[in-house]
Structure 1
């Protein structure tokens, strides 16, 4: 070991330089970065919306509208085929995704069936694909009716195609707004995620994105008004549409000309009164048709319809050649520009409902970055000081590894172009606390080998060798929790999972490879007579406590805590955030002086929005307003948020962030969060069962369930908000608790091989005492980092960090007093009666 491999030295230097090179662009001004040579890395960490401000929208294609529009289209086509092409009299009824056709003459049934078969074109062919999915089923009923029913597969395929088309339209619209680096991607079969950094005018973004912008031109009925049609009945082929001025118009259903023929649209001003207008221009084919329509209908009214609302309906005074025209309406300069953007980008093929909205102002993002940096610096300094105090020179080695570890995390995030969120910063700070765990394991093992009589070189070698398996097992279990968080989480929670996972991998490299290299080089150069690892004895070396004698008392204490937690959960429930119950949350900040909570309650209460909570949020100038889920669906929820923001801005408050989560999303998040916790526990059960024995797996899972229930009890007792971040905290607690448990279990497994005749209670006591100093030291470093997060991390993640700090405490307790003594109850054998073959195998495995 003293003769460290040059290859290892080269590997460390290459990795360290790469980490520094990929990290440096984050600390360089953009102008300087652009002047650097092309071969140098220039990627920077992408800040999440919660750190740089911006808007997040989750859009869902309106499935009912897709079905309804398709059924209407089929009805028109079926009527045309039967009446116009074949002269067959009929009556058509619609029922959701089904058409029922009754023929006036049953003799034409066979002819009608054959004629209608031309409607049944395989959907993927009609949409440009290969092969085919039957979109509909055409049948004859026993009472000689014809039914045309859309299939689920056909609806899903059409829905998928509409989403693909909508993504392109949304992308063109967002690009027209001049935003930088927007994220527009598909989620599932019917959703689109839109994230626009630095654009915090969420109202305008929603208007631009969610409007269908389906522009059509219809002739207005020449002799009957909408009011008369309501009394006398609608003439065939007509419909009543609302107009922008508050009235209604009776127009023909047939689209005289569609917006798909538009090639350009620009905002402008009327030459006569300088009011804002929107000009448009058709392509050649559309221009010819527009000229024909206007020439043939002089003196009649021509309606310009946008999303089923009549914008204007002027009288055609003369033919309009050239294919261009103007749209007049009650426009402002901004709304005229936005409408021009919508028309240029093209119409959405279907309505997009906003089912989740999150908006963060730039000032809050800057504050979050500052809070995260402060928490990271304070947490890092505390951990560094503690390691030097605890381990002296060896603590310096651990701190060097820690600094490189952080550099590698930042460099990897830059290389991957990963998004750093506020929970992601929390993941880095947590890594600072947990990263030293591997060093502590190694150092404590070296001290133990030295106490056993080994020489310095042998103690160092044995310490690294025997600690490696423990380090690997402990970190793999945490990595499992991080992986499940990533695949089942969303948004900032995935950012936390990414930083946690990267931190685990870099920790394995820095704590084992780098630390081993530094210690070996230091020892080869200094050759100290006395290998002094501990500078300050945090825990007595010869401490020996009979923990297993307290197991019944511990079981009783834990049972009381678990029952109490369940009782609190049943009686008080959890203070569910909008992630899980839906609704809206708006954070505002007083412009001048402390916020007047009573005044805000009165103002918001007068809006008649149901259950509204107004409370201080951190400092005395910050206020959090929560609005319950509104009847009327997602649109009503959006309107409620707009009302609240307008009301509070009018009395001197700035909106810092807003979140709107519809009931559909909240139900899915609750289900996904529960699934994540269960999946993590099952995955860990399988891993530990594979690595150890079934008793160990059951004991570890029992301790996990204990920790999760106590954490839920904490949320119920304190009223801390339980949201998606809380699920991340619980999964992190699962990982940390497992980390602790695996360390002791690994020592139990080793001692089982060495002391086959020792009773299990004695062996467990010895194993817990042997690893106790490591358990205490790791808990202290992790709590130091988490303490900095609790104090300096900001109000947004306070419940998240408090829950993790609590989890460290209960995880440490459950490892010693739950997971370990349960091995006795599960009849773990000491192997003193093992078969000779097993004994020989155990002897060969001992070290």
Structure 2
């Protein structure tokens, strides 16, 4: 934990940085490829809709003893029906109903397959024919749930985008957050289609739950980007807008990882128990949608949303100005004197800016800064090696130093300064 804490401190202060905003073509290709694959899976495989959406048959077992209406009997019935290979009953939904009943839901069956299913039930539970009550399940309820879910998602997205635009006073952040949200939903749908799990109301509920988690993480990152990219902050930090955005992602990276781990551990445990041990479809449908959506939400808030935001703001005047300042500053900081040209006889003469008297300048004096850095306007370079470097003048008298073995600048005590 100590190393992780130090890493978080270095990421926050800028001592260590990972490039999440750069390499735009590469990361766009990776994210776009993942989304494209997910869409192709959905188109080619489709979804395995549950009986709530397609309709089916429900078998109510009543009059059972307390020793029969148990979770053990439910698990045994589910396994026996799934192994019976009755068409339409490959993924049954089995649950207890009160203290003396069990409910079994399967797809719509023909009369012959229904008789086979009843024989399987009787082979597990000692019941008579009058204790088994079949009934048809209509698809109208599932369609109503789907319709209201679509309406709910649309309203939620519109309100969330409006809130982000008003809070940050930046519509481009709303667009970036929406694209990241679309990225998460499509990936979740692709994984769900690939898994073959039944689409139930629980799965729809899980899909709706990940919308809020994805936007929450994105808003936290955007808030840090806004803090780092204020005009005064950019000038003080000497960063360009992409650098400030990348710093914000690094500063929130540890928080994003911690939040995702805390959220994914219990969801993963529910998914494992429900899918592997219990086989409870309602739980595994909910857990799978939430687990995949939360993991995709962390990825999009770190790699997708900030990069899209930087891309959208790249043409703004303030962003361009900060970028030019950062490039010029980077060139100067590589070597403060490398931009000073060595004097040659055929060096072209440049006109002095208005208000600058060239005759008043000493040899090798730096007059002003041009677009490419400091410019020497008069005299040869102070060094005689043709390197273009100007040695800075000593701040005090130079005398021999016994300790260094060479001439060193000396400095008088404060009480002796200014005296002859």
Range into which the TM-score falls when normalised by the shorter chain: 0.5 to 0.7
Note if contact 2:181-2:214 (Cα within 8 Å) is conserved in structure 1: yes
The CA RMSD measured in Å over matched residues stands at: 4.0
Aligned to 1:627: 107
The verdict on how the C-alpha distance between 1:600 and 1:579 changes in structure 2, with shifts beyond 3 A counting, is closer
2:178 paired with 1:697: no
Q: Distance in 1 between matches of 2:294 and 2:36?
A: 20
Aligned to 2:283: 797
> Paired residue for 2:54, among 565, 570, 581?
581
Aligned to 1:786: 267
The verdict on how the C-alpha distance between 1:679 and 1:592 changes in structure 2, with shifts beyond 3 A counting, is closer
Q: CA deviation at 1:774?
A: 0.6
Aligned to 2:209: 732
Q: Distance in 1 between matches of 2:159 and 2:234?
A: 30
Aligned to 2:19: 546
Task: Give TM-score scaled by structure 2 length.
Answer: 0.58
Note if contact 1:752-1:831 (Cα within 8 Å) is conserved in structure 2: no
Q: Distance in 1 between matches of 2:136 and 2:105?
A: 12
Aligned to 1:715: 192
SS of residue matched to 1:650? helix
Aligned to 1:755: 233
SS of residue matched to 2:90? strand
Q: CA deviation at 1:668?
A: 1.9
2:97 paired with 1:613: no
SS of residue matched to 1:614? coil
Q: CA deviation at 1:797?
A: 0.6
The verdict on how the C-alpha distance between 1:585 and 1:573 changes in structure 2, with shifts beyond 3 A counting, is farther
1:386-405 to 2 correspondence within 5 Å? none
Q: Distance in 2 between matches of 1:656 and 1:784?
A: 40
Deviations 1:674-693 (A, max 9, x none): 22222222221111111111
> Paired residue for 2:42, among 558, 562, 569?
569
1:40-119 to 2 correspondence within 5 Å? none
Note if contact 1:584-1:629 (Cα within 8 Å) is conserved in structure 2: yes
Aligned to 2:5: 537
2:122 paired with 1:650: yes
Higher relative contact order, chain-length normalized (CA < 8 Å, sep 6+): 2
Aligned to 2:415: none
SS of residue matched to 2:106? strand
2:243 paired with 1:771: no
Aligned to 2:149: 673
The verdict on how the C-alpha distance between 1:819 and 1:586 changes in structure 2, with shifts beyond 3 A counting, is farther
Q: Distance in 1 between matches of 2:302 and 2:23?
A: 11
Q: Distance in 2 between matches of 1:549 and 1:595?
A: 55
Aligned to 1:812: 298
Q: CA deviation at 1:762?
A: 0.7
Q: CA deviation at 1:751?
A: 1.2
Q: Distance in 2 between matches of 1:541 and 1:680?
A: 36
Q: CA deviation at 1:787?
A: 2.3
Structure 2 gap ranges (5+): 11-15, 62-70, 95-101, 322-420
Q: Distance in 2 between matches of 1:811 and 1:769?
A: 16
Note if contact 2:82-2:92 (Cα within 8 Å) is conserved in structure 1: no
Note if contact 1:760-1:830 (Cα within 8 Å) is conserved in structure 2: no
SS of residue matched to 1:626? strand
The number of residues matched between the two structures is 286
The verdict on how the C-alpha distance between 1:770 and 1:672 changes in structure 2, with shifts beyond 3 A counting, is same
Deviations 1:311-360 (A, max 9, x none): xxxxxxxxxxxxxxxxxxxxxxxxxxxxxxxxxxxxxxxxxxxxxxxxxx
1:18-29 to 2 correspondence within 5 Å? none
SS of residue matched to 1:549? coil
Deviations 1:710-732 (A, max 9, x none): 00001111111212111111111
Q: CA deviation at 1:769?
A: 0.7
Aligned to 1:688: 164
The verdict on how the C-alpha distance between 1:821 and 1:671 changes in structure 2, with shifts beyond 3 A counting, is same
Q: Distance in 1 between matches of 2:29 and 2:138?
A: 43
Q: Distance in 1 between matches of 2:317 and 2:113?
A: 64
Deviations 1:624-683 (A, max 9, x none): 7622288xxxxxxxx999978854443233899999641322322222222222222222
Note if contact 1:551-1:817 (Cα within 8 Å) is conserved in structure 2: no
Q: CA deviation at 1:770?
A: 0.9
Q: Distance in 2 between matches of 1:786 and 1:593?
A: 22
Task: Give TM-score scaled by structure 1 length.
Answer: 0.30
SS of residue matched to 1:745? helix
The verdict on how the C-alpha distance between 1:778 and 1:641 changes in structure 2, with shifts beyond 3 A counting, is farther
Note if contact 1:703-1:815 (Cα within 8 Å) is conserved in structure 2: yes
Aligned to 1:559: 32
Q: CA deviation at 1:824?
A: 1.8
The verdict on how the C-alpha distance between 1:592 and 1:682 changes in structure 2, with shifts beyond 3 A counting, is closer
1:172-571 to 2 correspondence within 5 Å? 537=5, 539-542=7-10, 543-571=16-44
Deviations 1:367-421 (A, max 9, x none): xxxxxxxxxxxxxxxxxxxxxxx6xxxxxxxxxxxxxxxxxxxxxxxxxxxxxxx
Note if contact 1:595-1:623 (Cα within 8 Å) is conserved in structure 2: no
The verdict on how the C-alpha distance between 1:718 and 1:574 changes in structure 2, with shifts beyond 3 A counting, is same
The verdict on how the C-alpha distance between 1:826 and 1:792 changes in structure 2, with shifts beyond 3 A counting, is same
